[in-house]
Amino acid sequence: MNVELPVYCELHQKVSFRDSLGVVPRDAPLLIWNDPQFLPWSYEERTFIREDEQLHWLLDEFPAGAHTRPEGGSDSNIALMLWEYKTRVMHPVFPPILDDQFPEIALRGLAGMLPSLKNYFEKFPRPTIDGGYYTKTGENRPLIGALPVTGAFVIGALSGYGLMAACAAGELLAAHITQSHLPAYAPAFSLARYSDPQYMQMLRNWGSTGQL
């Protein structure tokens, strides 16, 4: 259709491990550490890291957003860890190229919120790493509505909140397709918003997108 969509892809990773010590309560909600932090390294570890130029970044301040939650029912001991401390925008490839350092970095980042995770520092249960891509717009709002091609519509760029937003997004798209009454917020998700000079000015000063 020769329509360029203003979207890009980010790699997001996830770690699961057997929380045999029961650090993450089975009835816990999604737990998010919302402060920047420095990773907790021992004196010997910090000395070793300083001597390796490729590892220096592990001593830098890390961003907020480390999060965890239990996975499965009350009879499960699986916990998930997620943290986009190093956002990677890339062309999607399959399978994704994952970071072997991610499990330990996520574990250390979450230990500030759940100190008992430090008991895994010396002997971390074998983790399982997987990941995928978030398709996003620059301000992290989805694209929902008509395309500049007669009879064509788009619903996409639902980033990491697609499961939560899918029903409302589908309802909005259906209103576009059936030419029903559109809610007042519909222009905020239309591709046409990028042709609005006022919106583009707001976009240049957008600030945080709220993405974990």
18 and 112: one domain? yes
Which 8-state DSSP code applies to residue 127? P
pLDDT tens digits, residue range 110-123? 999 999 999 999 99
Angle, alpha carbons 148-154-160 (nearest 5°): 140
Q: Would 189 be classed as within a structural domain?
A: yes
At 133, list the tokens: 């891509």
Q: How confident is the model at residue 212 (pLDDT cuts 50, 70, 90)?
A: low
| Domain-located, residue 100 | yes
Q: Is residue 212 domain-resident?
A: no
Q: Retrieve residue 129's tokens.
A: 């790493």
- Same domain (yes/no): 77, 118: yes
Strand segments, DSSP code E, in 137-206 are: 143-146, 153-156
At 160-202, the pLDDT tens digits run: 888 889 999 999 999 999 999 999 999 999 999 999 999 999 9
Domain containing 30 equals 10-136
Query: Given 99, 116, 136, which residue is the final one in a domain?
Result: 136
- Residue pair 163/132 in contact (Cβ under 8 Å)? The answer is no
48-98: pLDDT as tens digits? 999 999 999 999 999 999 999 999 988 999 999 999 998 888 899 999 999
Strand partners, 17: 79
Predicted TM-score of the model (pTM) = 0.83
Q: How many C-alpha atoms does 173 have within 13 Å on its Cβ side?
A: 17
